[in-house]
A and B are shown apart, each in its own frame.
Chain A
Amino acid sequence: MNLIETPVADTATADTAVALAVRAFAETLADSAVFHRFEQANQQLRADSEAQAAMLAYQQKQQSLQALLMLNAVSPAERSELERLEEAFFNQPTVTALLEAQTELRAVCQTAAAILSERIELPFAAACGPGCAC
């Protein structure tokens, strides 16, 4: 049984059609309000020196404790300090705004990926999961 013939000439046409559709999809998503909000939130976080300092302090503390964290051997005082720095970072308004914008964008991407998966009869996002070439 042969559902659809795909001669060599049609292969190039199909590739071009995919490339054009990919471009149109990406451009439309990049031009959407949800993506603009995400980009804006990203820029605001990058420009927020207080949030950047909070992120650096949290990351530095986390890195200094990395080995002990892996061994689950961090002292209560150090753990408490790490949690304080984490909270201080995640409570920054620009961080909260970025997380909200990311959640919103993620929901849109999930819907789009679900539509693609349903139509192509393969799990789009899962096929591109960890370990793939993306």
Chain B
Amino acid sequence: MMNNNGTTPLPPKLATATANLAEALRAAPPLVTYRQAQADLAAEPAAQALLDRLLTNQNELRLKQMNGRITQADVDALRALQNEVQENATIMAYVMAQQDALAYLPEVNQSISEWLGIDFAALAGR
């Protein structure tokens, strides 16, 4: 039987253990720093707009590349935007914090997997 959101309900004890693990992870320094950086970025509209411009530009350039219509001016414009992003402390703090948080999770998965004797995330991710 499935939940309304299409997931299998967890046995009560496992649901509690999962919730406790989630709370412990939320309090782990790499994830605290990540949420802090996320909040800082959200509080800075100019940085967000710059990031949006970079993503839009990258997508447009990808399309142009596929159509063989990319110009040197397009590449220069992207590089200028990339430089601007790299000079923005809030964006860079966010990027680094996200990287650190994402690097922390495999360590957690490894611990879980060692206990279980199966790769938990690999099974959950399929």
Contacts and interface: CB of A to CB of B under 8 A. Distances in A.
Interface of A: 1-4, 6, 10-11, 14-15, 17-35, 102, 105-116, 118-122, 124-129, 132-134
Interface of B: 3, 7-11, 13-29, 31-36, 38-40, 43, 98, 101-102, 105-113, 115-116, 119-126
A128 to B, nearest CB: 3
Which secondary structure characterizes the binding site on chain A?
Answer: helix
Given A121-B35, A134-B121, A18 B28 contact: yes
A105 B123 contact: yes
Contacts, number: 179
B7 A26 contact: no
A133 B66 CA distance: 33
Nearest to A20: B24
30 contacts: A1-B43, A3-B35, A6-B33, A10-B29, A17-B24, A19-B111, A22-B24, A25-B21, A26-B120, A28-B13, A29-B116, A32-B13, A105-B123, A107-B8, A110-B8, A110-B125, A111-B9, A116-B22, A118-B22, A119-B22, A120-B31, A120-B101, A121-B35, A122-B105, A124-B105, A124-B121, A128-B125, A129-B125, A133-B106, A134-B119
